């Protein structure tokens, strides 16, 4: 008998609503006991290791090829990291040494070395690198299956649509979802920067991760709702909830068809005010994906995803090729490239393993770049070289003071001189701007407006710093709320200052892609919104239904409230008046 209805909140990786029967994927974990291998069998164990490495690389190469054909090269590159680890001579030497020196079995030696490798990642403070633990676990399991001769159970045998529940999915398992009946995914673990999340977004499966214990709360056969739009998973919904969400699920299907028709139409209000809708991208091929959704260009290219590779920091040439691919993919439209938003511990090949006590307040983003000028100038040269291919802008993340912006701009001029001396062409008029993401930058926005080419409001970090809430901590996630009156007033003040100074202003956080906030953002004067490509059509639909005076009235009212709940309820009511059948 099904249990009582439970509502869980996590981190959304893809929007949408799906309803289905739960399939709970049991964690695949090997417990390998130590056993002494006789000397005359040591050669056989080493051969077993060689075969496991060879077969694992062959499997990964096939999966990479399939992903490249169906989802693009950049999604396929997730498995480059796995192949790079398997080809790592140092790692291989450690496994072989344990077999020879300790007479361990190939399975035990592989498991021990790979788990030591995992512990190294656990000691790191940067979330992007901590997420690599799951990739290492995936590699270990693949190796052990080949060594032990066990077949992996996959999801291809499913015969009816289901919702997949698991503690976690490896990148390998996630890639396999493309050819299965899995409608959506809910995971205990995961973060928005994980390879699993990246692949789920590429596949377009509604998903919620970071749920902590959904795999123990849900049983196989339970009815489960995945509400990727609102970051919710509802297990065993009651009749009223199920009826409501079935209507939403049907609405999403209708909406998808309807929104496809808007692709070629401009985002223009009823009183003819043009709004630019831009894409946030992680991979170069997503620039073209954004155009397919009706975007006007790229408002945020997160270049730190170039670090999801086994060899560490990308070379200037590798960066140049990625930036050129994005610029060409945008087909003549503007591409705004953000310099690396990295923490001090992103460079695994150079880093000491000292932990920062609070990495989000530590050496990260532009601070890190300015203390590692050689790395920074490599990127700046690559961006400048790529700018010759089309309309390109450059911006610095987490700028907190005028001195930081000035120092970063000086580094750009140094990179320009390097290119001029080498006779390499680039655009000398590249616009240079900043991400506004801290309370200090909000307070000094008028001073910044006198020096920057443009400002992009990064609400993901701005909300975190303004409200003193760690956005990656599920225990305080209810306090991370874009509807907080302080957030609304900060955005209003920044847009007002930019408008008065005639400085181009864009909002490029998750807030930009949430229809709940579209009317408010237009009402305070924003005319550029940058979001995940999948969110563009619905935001465009809403824009085409309103006039600017309507949105100004709504923004004034929203700014008068004292609590986030009042703001949310009011904005939802106003949005539903325009989109009564769309899930908001």
Q: How many Å apart are CA 130 and CA 407, to the nearest integer?
A: 31
- The helix/strand/coil state of 185 is strand
Q: How many Å apart are CA 194 and CA 132, to the nearest integer?
A: 7
Among 82, 146, 195, 484, the active-site one is 195
Q: Which H or E run contains 490?
A: helix 485-501
The whole-angstrom distance between residue 175's C-alpha and the CA centroid of its chain comes to 16
Torsion of CA 169, 171, 175, 180, to 10 degrees: -10
- Backbone torsions φ then ψ of 111, nearest 5 degrees: -60, -45
Q: How many Å apart are CA 435 and CA 457, to the nearest integer?
A: 6
Does the active-site annotation cover 195?
A: yes
Token readout for 319 is 């960066």
Does the active-site annotation cover 449?
A: no
Token readout for 406 is 């000035």
Q: How far is CA 381 from CA 77, 300, 374, 418, in A?
A: 24, 19, 11, 8
Q: DSSP string of 233-288?
A: EEES--HHHHHHHHHHHHHHHHHHHHHHTTTTS--B-TT--B-EEEEEESSTTHHH
Q: How many Å apart are CA 457 and CA 539, to the nearest integer?
A: 18
User: Is residue 428 packed enough to be buried (19+ CB in 10 Å), middle (13-18) or exposed (0-12)?
Assistant: exposed
- Say which residues have a Cβ less than 8 Å from residue 253's Cβ, sequence separation at least 6: none
Question: What pairs with residue 280 in β-bridges?
Answer: 300
* C-beta contacts of 185-189 below 8 A and 24+ residues apart: 185/209, 185/226, 186/8, 186/10, 186/211, 186/214, 186/218, 186/224, 186/226, 186/233, 187/10, 187/211, 187/214, 187/215, 188/212, 188/213, 188/214, 188/215, 188/216, 189/134
| Residue whose structure tokens are 């994980």 | 194
Q: Give the active site residues.
A: 195, 508
């Amino acid at each position: 008998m099904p249990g009582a209805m439970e509502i869980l909140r996590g981190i959304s990786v893809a929007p949408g609503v799906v309803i289905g029967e739960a399939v709970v994927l049991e964690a695949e974990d090997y417990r390998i006991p130590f056993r002494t291998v006789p000397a005359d069998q040591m050669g056989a164990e080493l051969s077993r290791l060689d075969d496991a490495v060879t077969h694992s690389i062959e499997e990964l190469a096939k999966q990479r090829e399939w992903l490249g054909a169906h989802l693009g090269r950049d999604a396929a590159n997730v498995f480059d990291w796995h192949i790079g680890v398997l080809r790592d001579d140092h790692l291989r030497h450690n496994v072989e040494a344990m077999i020879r020196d300790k007479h361990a079995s190939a399975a035990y030696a592989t498991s021990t070395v790979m788990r030591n490798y995992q512990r190294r990642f656990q000691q790191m403070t940067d979330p992007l690198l901590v997420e690599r633990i799951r990739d290492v676990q995936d590699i270990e399991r693949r190796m052990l299956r080949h060594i032990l001769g066990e077949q992996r159970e996959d999801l291809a045998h499913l015969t009816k649509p289901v919702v997949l529940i698991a503690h976690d999915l490896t990148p390998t398992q996630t890639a396999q979802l493309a050819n299965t009946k899995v409608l959506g995914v809910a995971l205990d673990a995961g973060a928005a920067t994980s390879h699993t999340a990246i692949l789920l977004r590429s596949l377009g499966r509604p998903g919620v991760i970071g749920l902590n214990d959904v795999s123990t709360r849900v049983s196989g056969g339970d009815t489960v709702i995945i509400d990727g739009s609102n970051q919710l998973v509802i297990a065993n919904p009651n009749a009223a909830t199920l009826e409501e969400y079935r209507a939403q699920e049907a609405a999403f299907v209708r909406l998808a068809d309807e929104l496809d028709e808007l692709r070629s139409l401009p985002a223009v209000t009823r009183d003819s005010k043009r709004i630019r809708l831009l894409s946030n991208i992680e991979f170069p091929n997503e620039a073209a994906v954004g155009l397919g959704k009706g975007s006007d260009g790229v408002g945020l290219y997160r270049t730190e995803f170039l670090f999801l590779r086994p060899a560490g920091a990308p070379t200037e040439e590798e960066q140049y090729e990625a930036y050129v691919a994005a610029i060409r993919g945008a087909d003549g439209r503007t591409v705004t490239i953000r310099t690396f938003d990295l923490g001090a511990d992103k460079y695994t090949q150079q880093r000491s393993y000292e932990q920062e006590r609070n990495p989000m307040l530590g050496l990260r983003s532009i601070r890190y770049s300015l203390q590692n000028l050689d790395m920074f100038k490599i990127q700046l040269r690559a961006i400048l070289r790529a700018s010759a291919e089309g309309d390109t802008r450059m911006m610095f993340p987490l700028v907190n003071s005028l001195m930081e912006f000035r120092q970063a701009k000086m580094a750009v001029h140094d990179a320009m001189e390097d290119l001029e001396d080498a006779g390499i062409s680039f655009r000398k008029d590249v616009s240079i701007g900043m991400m506004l993401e801290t309370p200090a930058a909000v307070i000094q926005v008028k001073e910044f407006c006198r020096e920057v080419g443009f400002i992009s409001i990064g609400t993901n970090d701005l909300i975190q710093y303004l409200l003193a809430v760690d956005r990656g901590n599920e225990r305080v996630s209810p306090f991370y709320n874009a509807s907080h009156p302080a957030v609304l007033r900060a955005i209003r003040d920044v847009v007002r200052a930019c408008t008065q100074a005639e400085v181009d202003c864009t909002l490029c956080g998750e807030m930009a892609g949430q229809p709940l906030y579209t009317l408010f953002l237009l009402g305070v004067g924003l005319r550029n919104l940058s979001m995940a490509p999948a969110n563009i059509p619905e935001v465009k639909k809403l824009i085409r239904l309103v006039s600017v005076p309507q949105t100004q009235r709504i923004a004034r009212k929203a700014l008068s409230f004292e609590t986030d709940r009042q703001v949310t309820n009011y904005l939802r009511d106003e949005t539903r008046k325009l989109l009564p059948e769309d899930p908001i």
